[in-house]
Amino acid sequence: MTQKTRVSVAGVLSAAALLSGLAAPVATAAPASHAPRAAQHIPFTEAEVTAQDDGSYKVTWKAPGNRHVAVRANGRTVATGGSTGTVTVKGLPAADRQWFTLVPERGGSLRLADRLIELDGTVNFRDAGGYRTKDGQWVRMGAIYRTDSLEKLTDADLAKLKRLGISVDYDLRTTSERAAAPDRLPEGVRYVVANVVGDDSPLFSMPETAEEAAQLMIDGEKSMVSGESAKSAYSTVFAGLARDADGALYHCTAGKDRTGWASAALLTALGVPRETVMEDYLASNVYRAEANAAALAAMPAEQAAVYKPMLDVRAEYLNAGFAEVAEEFGSFAAYEQKALGLDARELRALKADLLVG
């Protein structure tokens, strides 16, 4: 990379995302009906379901003050434990997506599934919910999804998304990205373009060092907060979610940068702690690990070293976005109103729809 090439911020993010998507994806199931609403306070301070490679499920929880917790699946109790528990559930019948309900002796129950939706044509399709807020509520699962690009979905994948109840797709990509890799969607899904970085963003030099690449990602994150195209695009997404969140998904190409900020903004607006928001953001490194490794292995070593920061998600990137919120808007509440277009009524509607407990 001795000669500098002029590219846009959109081009840098698109190139990084496209490189991230070179390797072949995962395989298996999706769906389930939407979660029932809990009228009572949910006593769980931690809870998670993780699908294992052998077909079993690891279920963990903490429910202070409860001596007994039942784990239910498919209408029956499959495990029990105390206030803190870790159980492995085996022998469940095959399902698109296996749901578990954690039932404490006191308080409301909590319905969870593994966050990843395994499809043949994606590697980073996951549930945006399943997180606890600062005040003890939970973002319900089975409502909103975040993903990488959808052009490689198989017919079997489309059938799974149909059963999952996907009703609207917010495409955060540029015009050229959409033209090169148009989404495949189940029939009847509403398609909404919400171009975050725009098609005529300012020019920058293609990075020649890993440090320059990381700085470009930081600058790109800031533009997703204060850029005019970004504010318009995310306002479109959040206005739609405030009207009806059930069955919505949003995505870019790799499902990590533009999609990552969409989820960070959503979870923050719902009251999820910053450290949890960061964990969700950084999880793309795990889900994209194989695809990213394959992309880098296809490059000469020196080029791979420069491109790696653009394939990563890093805490410094997301932190740059939140720093931009503080600098440009003063507070996240002001950002919600001025950039995302969420007024108090819409924010209440979003919380009423997505929070349980």
CA–CA separation, 46 and 136 (whole Å): 10
Q: What is the CA radius of gyration of the chain?
A: 20
Residue 331 corresponds to which tokens in the numbers above?
């507070």
Closest CA to 334 of 265, 279, 253, 237: 265
Report yes or no: 254 and 124 within 8 Å, Cβ to Cβ.
yes
In the predicted model, is pLDDT for residue 32 greater than 50?
A: no
CA–CA separation, 226 and 194 (whole Å): 15
CA–CA separation, 248 and 128 (whole Å): 10
In the predicted model, is pLDDT for residue 354 greater than 90?
A: yes
> DSSP 3-state assignment of 88?
strand
Report yes or no: 41 and 281 within 8 Å, Cβ to Cβ.
no
95-112 mean pLDDT: 97
What is the residue-averaged pLDDT of the chain? Answer: 91
pLDDT reported for residue 206 = 82
Q: Tell me: the pLDDT tens digits for 135-193?
A: 999 999 999 999 999 999 999 999 999 999 999 999 999 999 999 999 999 999 999 99
User: Longest C-alpha distance within the chain, in Å?
Assistant: 67
Strand partners, 110: 102
CA–CA separation, 202 and 214 (whole Å): 18
> Helix, strand, coil % (nearest 5) of the chain?
40, 20, 40
CA–CA separation, 229 and 211 (whole Å): 26
Report yes or no: 220 and 197 within 8 Å, Cβ to Cβ.
yes
In the predicted model, is pLDDT for residue 17 greater than 80?
A: no
First-to-last CA distance in the chain? 54
Q: Which fold has domain 6-41+118-356?
A: Protein-Tyrosine Phosphatase; Chain A (3.90.190)
